[in-house]
Amino acid sequence: METIRFEVQDKIATITFNRPRVLNAFNLELHEEFYHALSTAREDEAVRCIVLRGEGRAFSAGADLKAMQERDETVDVGDYLRQTYNRTIKLMTEIEKPVVATVHGPAHGAGLGVALAADFRIASESANFCLAFIKIGLMPDAGTHYFLPRLIGLGRALELAASGETIDAKQAYAMGLVNRVVSDDRLEEETIQLATQLASMPTKAFGYMKKTMLSSFESDLSTVLEAEAQGQSILANTEDHREGVAAFYEKRKPVFKGR
């Protein structure tokens, strides 16, 4: 069975983790297919937004511990991470298009890390989040140390990781871990609505915003100001900018094409 389902419709690429029997836990095959799907969506000019979701009862339970135990013992765990999560998380941050994680059920361990690397997180009321690494003598991975403190603050991030406790969707929203919470029966509809809105935006402008905001954490003010100046210089010559200005003067809704 394919571990990933990949569909493109109405400018939206939907990537579905498809290992429902193990709550979409990541094994090597899922890693490979996920990376390939992200790369395909990135390169496809018809795609203007990417949605990540899980089949069955979960977004993702994180790493498949059974598969980890069965791996080649000569492969160092650090090298395994470099070949799997690390390159995928980096790719997610480099994709110029908006990435939405739509979360129901568990988003645990590295599954939470993947959700954190998305640009937007929408959760159903049944969603729950956990970093249980500490309970088996490990530390979080999949970029969690980068994204989580930036989203919810250092103190809360350390508490969540050190306790290994599970939090529900309302707690996650109150912390700033997710952008919004909706009822379970409205998750798909709300996700499509958000993705459609994002897919209709001037994609290049979003890409420059994303790149500049992510880099701002390691930059000083002068560097950020220069990045803004360079970005505006490029965006001012795009088709979407011209369309936006024309629509403003003509008092109509702009139709952006991502160019």
Q: Nearest 5°: CA angle at 156, between 153 and 157?
A: 75
Helix and strand numbers (H, E) in the chain are 12, 9
Q: Domain coordinates of the chain in residue numbers?
A: 4-200, 203-250
The reported pLDDT for the residue numbered 66 is 74
pLDDT tens, residue order, the chain (259 aa): 599 999 999 999 999 999 999 999 999 999 999 999 999 999 999 999 999 999 999 999 998 877 666 656 667 888 888 889 999 999 999 999 999 999 999 999 999 999 999 999 999 999 999 999 999 999 999 999 999 999 999 999 999 999 999 999 999 999 999 999 999 999 999 999 999 999 999 999 999 999 999 999 999 999 999 999 999 999 999 999 999 999 999 999 999 999 9
Tokens of 53: 């979701």
In DSSP terms, which residues pair with 101 in a beta bridge?
Answer: 52, 121
What is residue 56's predicted lDDT score, i.e. its pLDDT? 96
Burial class (CB in 10 A: 0-12, 13-18, 19+), 1: exposed
Can you give the pTM of this predicted structure?
0.92
Say whether 203-250 and 4-200 share the same fold. Answer: no
- The pLDDT value recorded for residue 77 is 86
Q: Domain 203-250: which topology?
A: Lyase 2-enoyl-coa Hydratase; Chain  A, domain 2 (1.10.12)
Torsion sign, CA atoms 38, 150, 130, 187:
negative
Q: Where are the beta strands (DSSP E) in 85-211?
A: 99-103, 106-108, 120-124, 128-130, 166-168, 180-182
- Residue 121, classed as helix, strand or coil, is strand
Predicted local distance difference test score (pLDDT) of residue 112: 98
Which single residue is written with the structure tokens 């490979």? 32
Sheet hosting strand 120-124, strand order edge to edge: 4-9, 12-17, 49-54, 99-103, 120-124, 180-182
Q: 237, 259 in Cβ contact below 8 A?
A: no
What per-residue confidence (pLDDT) applies to 70?
60
Are the C-beta atoms of 212 and 114 separated by less than 8 Å?
no
Sign of the dihedral through C-alpha 43, 46, 49, 54: negative
Q: How many whole angstroms separate alpha carbon 161 and alpha carbon 148?
A: 10
For domain 4-200, give the CATH number. Answer: 3.90.226.10
